Amino acid sequence: MAAVGDSTSGDSSAIIAALNKKNAATTSATGTTDSSPALGQDAFLKLLITQLKNQSPLDPQDNTAFVAQLAQFSSLQGIQNLNTTMTGLASGMQSSQALQASALVGRTVEVKSGSAYLSTDSVIRGTMSLDNSTADLQLKIYDSTDKLVMQKDFGAQAAGDLPFAWDGTNSAGTVQAAGTYKFVVTSNDSGKSAAVTTYLGANVNSVTMGANQTVTLNVNGVGQVALSDVKDIL
């Protein structure tokens, strides 16, 4: 009587290798990859049954090895299902992020910037972010020619966020023309000046979905800004 060699009786890796070879042959013949869990399970069981039928009567497969093979396949299939689930979850999150970003078109958002565009009869709102308290906080606004149009002293301020608004007028109360203006905020302590981070409000013109599925906002007067960099929606 012909019998299969001893290596067949408990070699779970041989079954997995044969299964992979079968899947590769199917992919090569059709030009597509079928990741259906049902097909993989069916092929595995057929190979396992074939192994049991052809095992040596003098050296039958051990029950422990048989259970180990089933557990190994179950583990592999579980990992594949988890990968599929995670891929779907990531895709869903990206779609949700894109939807949220599209809802911001036409809205004013506050982003980290040193300049902002002033529209006719509009107000630019912003936030000065102080890492430490200061004895003297000062805001200067310059036009596109670097001419100083407005200066405001806020005096002593504690650490934290300090909101402000500019109505588009200069120090004499004259309304300024529409255009891009630069905001420079400094803290002055013991004769030393330090730059203060500013967040300025600007209109979202459009949304761009990048090649790597990242969402960026095209902000008027600022440029492209990551959705995660938006400090506030005004």
129/79 same-domain check:
no
Which of 69, 87, 102 represents a domain boundary (last residue)?
Answer: 102
Residue 69 is predicted with a pLDDT of: 67
Residues 90, 169 within the same domain: no
Q: Are residues 140 and 74 in the same domain?
A: no
Domain encompassing residue 32? 6-102
Same domain, 93 and 37: yes
In a shared domain, residues 114 and 165: yes
Residues 180 and 149: their CA atoms lie apart, in Å, by 12
Number of domains the chain is built from: 2
pLDDT of the residue at 70? 67
The verdict on 133 and 191 lying in the same domain is yes
CA–CA gap between residue 12 and residue 73 (Å, rounded): 9
CATH of the domain at 114: 2.60.40.4070
The b/e string for 16-37 (b: 16+ C-beta within 10 A; e otherwise) is bebbeebbeeeeeeeeeeeeee
User: Among 1, 11, 19, 2, which residue's Cα sits nearest to residue 51?
Assistant: 11
Q: Do 223 and 166 sit in the same domain of this protein?
A: yes
**Per-residue model confidence (pLDDT) at position 221:** 85
Residues of the chain short of pLDDT 50, as ranges, are 1-10, 27, 30, 32, 36-39
Asked if residues 154 and 162 have their Cβ atoms less than 8 Å apart, the reply is: yes
Of 48, 77, 102, which closes a domain? 102
pTM score, two decimals? 0.58
Do 11 and 51 belong to one domain? yes
Which domain-ending residue is among 86, 102, 118? 102
Kindly state whether residues 132 and 228 are assigned to the same domain. Answer: yes
**Is 142 within the bounds of a domain?**
yes
Instruction: Classify 190 in phi/psi space as left (phi over 0), alpha (psi -120 to 50) or beta.
Output: left
* Residue 59 covered by a domain: yes
